[in-house]
Amino acid sequence: MIRYFIACTCFVANVLFYTIRLNLSIAITVMVRHNTSLTVGKMELPLNTTKSNDNNVQTFDWDEKTQQMILGAFFYGYAIMPIPGSWLAEHIGGKRMIGFSIICSSILSILIPWAAGVSVGLVVILRGLDGMVQGNVIPATVILLQNWAPKAELNTIISIAFAGMQMGITVGSLLSTRLCSMNVLGGWPLSFYTYGSVGLILALFWTVFVYDTANEHPCISQNELALLDSNPSPMESDIKIKSVPWLSIFTSPPVLAIVISYFSFDFGVYFFFTDIPTFLSSVLGYDFQTVGVLVLLMCISQLVPAVLYGKFMDFLIQREYLSALNTRKLYAVLSLGIPAVCLLALGYASSNEYFMQFLIITTFGIYGVGNSVLSNPIDLSPMYSGIITGVVMTISSSAGFIGPFIVGLLTQDNNVLRQWSIMFKITAGIQIFGMIIYLFFAQVEEQEWSCTGAVMHNGQKQERSNLKISNDEEKASLINKR
């Protein structure tokens, strides 16, 4: 089935993006002179390699501040682009935007070893550009997949595609460490060349085999085409975007509910992946090997929920066990409510080693269902789903800076369990707040402003005659105002 082939191709693309994103965080431990450890979150794991001392391996005298500047450049660039990138993707299509991102990110990866030999500033610029390029990907993926997902399978297809994020983190952690340890092509540069080369091959594959809509695909069956035609997307209709109702989007309660809940979700995810390893090593005294195993189990535990939860949501809706709205709200309970309870329990579970490990792995695994909310913007406005997703990603990405900053303030003078318990409570409180907001304000009906600014090919303004289109309608009813 072509629609699942498209979803799986998006999965592979996300694996590539996340391995490229993570690679420098691992490679930099070999690139910097005298480093003998591998950074996982904020914790250092010893590297069983002496390649960094080999005369054939180029290393650099970068202090800790310089390293953090290089690593942080990606995320600053990433925060800039979701909104403008989503706007552009709405006009040129998700295929072109993602394909462009694959090519650019791959080339930038290949250029990193050269840039490192020239200047720190050039590395920072390339990383910032890579962040900007990848900042387009999630909104563009939503735009692409809404054209390939029947209503009955929307959550399944979205979940398959975005499960590539979790797989990318897992694969990248293992493969980058291995590549950086090999005495080939100068050691650590091999990892950048490998991911860049694979990315260029994927870009060629993407260009040939991925299409924006079902009607464009030369190999799709008539049965599958009929299934997808029963749920037409904006790109398959005569409607094109002329202007975006920015004010309506930014003041829409259901949109704000998505923004707040996803920020709360990202706050927990970034805190867990970035700071929990530090907590385990510096406060509880876990050795490096134990923490490394736990980090790997955390990543692996997300894969099954990330892939299967979308199918579970579609199952509940099709069997009418839950309405579409209540299924969306279940996301908030699972990905925000349960982790909040686990976080509160973590502050009191330090005396029971195995129970604490269970809480950590379970919490991070449950976070795997969080990306399912990215199908909600399609409910609210198929026309502007990518732009809504861009708004969500722009705001939620700030959690990656805010959480570690708060941890630093709490633990800079007194790095003890009591201080970390405060952070657990803060994170739990933010997630409970996000859950409550989403439970009260989430909607699945198409919003009144959904077609504002849409025009037909002949330039005449149009509006939908029915704002609540049922799932079995084959075409949206359009009424010409002029």
Banded pLDDT at 241 (limits 50, 70, 90): low
Q: Average pLDDT of 282-308?
A: 76
Give the pLDDT confidence score for residue 478 in this predicted structure: 34
| pLDDT in the model for residue 456 | 40
- Of 332, 331, 313, 333, which is closest to residue 323 (Cα–Cα)? 313
pLDDT at residue number 168: 87
- Residue 388 CA to residue 381 CA, distance in Å, equals 8
Asked if 20 contacts 110 with a C-beta cutoff of 8 angstroms, the reply is no
In the chain, what are the domain boundaries?
1-236, 238-466
The tens digit of pLDDT for each residue in 33-47 reads 654 444 444 444 444
pLDDT at position 413: 66
pLDDT at 468: 38
Contact (CB, 8 A) for 144 and 10: yes
* CA angle in degrees (0–180, nearest 5) for 76-80-83: 150
Structure tokens at 244: 């975006």
DSSP bridge pairs for 241? 454
Q: Picking from 49-63, 116-130, 249-263, 398-412, which range would have the lowest pLDDT averaged per residue?
A: 49-63
Q: How far is CA 450 from the centre of its chain?
A: 25
State residue 9's pLDDT score. 95
Q: For the chain, what is the mean pLDDT?
A: 80
| Predicted local distance difference test score (pLDDT) of residue 185 | 77
Closest CA to 335 of 258, 254, 395, 419: 258
Amino acid identity of residue 391, one-letter, is: V
CATH fold of the domain at 1-236: Growth Hormone; Chain: A; (1.20.1250)
Residues sharing a CB contact under 8 Å with residue 386, sequence separation 6 or more, in sequence order: 86, 87, 89, 90, 94, 139, 140, 142, 143, 377
Structure tokens at 92: 């040129």
Any idea what the Cα angle at residue 44 is, between residues 41 and 50, rounded to 5°?
130
How far apart (Å, rounded) are the C-alpha atoms in residues 396 and 139?
A: 13
- What's the pLDDT tens digit per position in 179-226? 887 877 777 899 999 999 999 999 999 999 999 988 888 888 888 888
Looking at per-residue pLDDT, the higher value among 64 and 101 belongs to 101
Which structure tokens are listed for 249? Answer: 């989007």
**pLDDT value of residue 480:** 42
User: Which is more confidently placed, 240 or 248?
Assistant: 248
> Is the model's pLDDT at 111 over the cut of 90?
yes
Which of these, 348, 364, 329, lies nearest to 421 by C-alpha position? 348
CA distance linking residue 269 with residue 377, whole number of Å: 21
Identity of residue 101 = S
**pLDDT per residue as tens digits for the range 402-445:** 877 787 777 766 656 777 888 889 999 999 999 999 999 999 99
Least confident of 165-174, 282-291, 390-399: 282-291
Give the chain as a 3 state SS string.
CHHHHHHHHHHHHHHHHHHHHHHHHHHHHHHECCCCEEEECCEEEECCCCHHHCCCCCCECCCHHHHHHHHHHHHHHHHHCHHHHHHHHHHHCHHHHHHHHHHHHHHHHHHHHHHHHHCHHHHHHHHHHHHHHHCCHHHHHHHHHHCCCCHHHHHHHHHHHHHHHHHHHHHHHHHHHHHHCCCCCCCCHHHHHHHHHHHHHHHHHHHHHCCCCHHHCCCCCHHHHHHHHCCCCHHHCCCEECCCCHHHHHCCHHHHHHHHHHHHHHHHHHHHHHHHHHHHHHHCCCCHHHHHHHHHHHHHHHHHHHHHHHHHHHHHHHCCCCCHHHHHHHHHHHHHHHHHHHHHHHCCCCCCHHHHHHHHHHHHHHHHHHHHHHHHHHHHCCCCHHHHHHHHHHHHCCHHHHHHHHHHHHHCCCCCHHHHHHHHHHHHHHHHHHHHHHHHHCCCCCCHHHHCCEECCCCCEEEECCCCCCCCCCCCCEEECC
In CATH, which superfamily holds the domain spanning 238-466? MFS general substrate transporter like domains (1.20.1250.20)
**C-alpha angle 109/90/390, rounded to 5°?**
65
